[in-house]
Amino acid sequence: MRYPRLLRALTALTLVGLVLANAQWVIAQQEPVDELPVEALRSFSEVYERIQSDYVEAVDDEALVRNAIRGMLENLDPHSAYLDTEAYQQLQEGTQGRFGGLGIEVGMEDGFVEVIAPIDGTPADAAGMQPGDLIIRIDGQSVKGLDLQEAVGLMRGEPGTAITLGVLREGQDQPMEITLERAVIQVESVRARLLEPGFGYLRISQFQSRTGEDLLAAVDELVHDTDALDGLVLDLRNNPGGVLDAAIEVADAFLSSGQIVSTRGRIERARSRYTATPNDVLNGAPLVVLVNAGSASAAEIVAGALQDHRRAVIMGEQTFGKGSVQTILPLRNGNAVKLTTARYYTPDGRSIQAEGIAPDVEIANVTVRDRDNAPAAMRESDLPRHLRNAESDAREAPEAVDGDIPASSLAARDYALAEALNLLKGLRILGR
């Protein structure tokens, strides 16, 4: 009876060895890998043998080893993971801007699924999901004991089907139930419009492979729509990050020289520096960047670079604080390993990991509205028999511009954006 168990243990070691060999094959050209720890693998084989011989039910060999690999990676940090073929394909689809699901960027926190940020225009965004929400149940099933990929798999499904999430939100005593309808998520990475003549608004919801190219096209369109672009608001709120190269391209668009970001890791290819190229797409016009607690990863790279170079005023809330770089290492069997390989640093050498970017101007997440039936303020022109201003009488009243948004209306809809616009106006005046 000893030999079948020994054979299974040897099979497990072979499978582990194949996975490790795959990973070593990927990085062998960079730096030597330490020899396999024989004593530790003996312990693994002993535990494996005990499970196969004494566990209450029979366990599939490959499933057992696959779960061991997942546990090995997920205990490193919240972002490292083992990706089977389906998860690997879904990750690739996400970077292209089209995938199925709810439209939220998530991570693990104390065994629960934490919302990093909802993505604009998705079911999660429409349902009011917020950064920091903890998903504790998915269709009545507790997420405790699930790894991140399993939880994400439960949330994905056929477009049009419903899903109910149990959500814990800070400041509320009881969990909420939020019902959403799954959809095919097509993320429009870059959106732009004029707030007022001369002042543009550019929103990046997620960094995808085409984001840098789309940003340049959007700025060109804004310049075409106005006589001169006197300032721009770059909105990175609830941007969960994405492709590192796209973040570098976006920061480079507003910088003419200097370092954008550096990465530092154990292996040579994880150590790099990225430098800006000449030409600022705004030609030095004022720039305000909006951030909040849902601004993470690549969004923090952009905000940190522009802040360190004094190229933009960062306005809003402290950002999420994800300052690590994940590298996808494909394996020979079609699966992949997502492994944290480096930390990234701002041009001034700041690590954002677990700290985030502190805004230059802090704006609380508040909502404002006009006072109901508030009496109008008394002015000189309201007094009886007031002296008229001959010069103003001679001037023609300014014509209204189509598309203008009254300041009071903008403040009621988006207070932070209204404050960013006011700051841009002040910077333009000072610049003149």
Question: Which residues form the catalytic set?
Answer: 297, 308, 322
- Could you give the 3-state DSSP secondary structure of residue 242? strand
- The answer to whether 129 and 118 have CB atoms below 8 angstroms apart is yes
Q: What is the largest CA-CA distance in the chain?
A: 112
Name residues whose C-beta falls within 8 Å of residue 377's C-beta, 6 or more positions apart in sequence.
none
Q: CA dihedral defined by 242, 151, 81, 96, rounded to 10 degrees?
A: -30
Structure tokens, 193: 């419009």
Closest by CA to 168, choosing from 205, 142, 145, is: 142
Distance between CA atoms of residues 432 and 172, nearest Å: 48
- The answer to whether 240 and 297 have CB atoms below 8 angstroms apart is yes
The H or E element spanning position 100 is strand 98-101
CB atoms inside a 10 Å sphere around CB 31: 11
Name residues whose C-beta falls within 8 Å of residue 261's C-beta, 6 or more positions apart in sequence.
247, 248, 251, 273, 274, 301, 304, 305, 344, 345, 346, 347
Q: Which single residue is written with the structure tokens 């399993």? A: 150
- Could you give the 3-state DSSP secondary structure of residue 141? strand
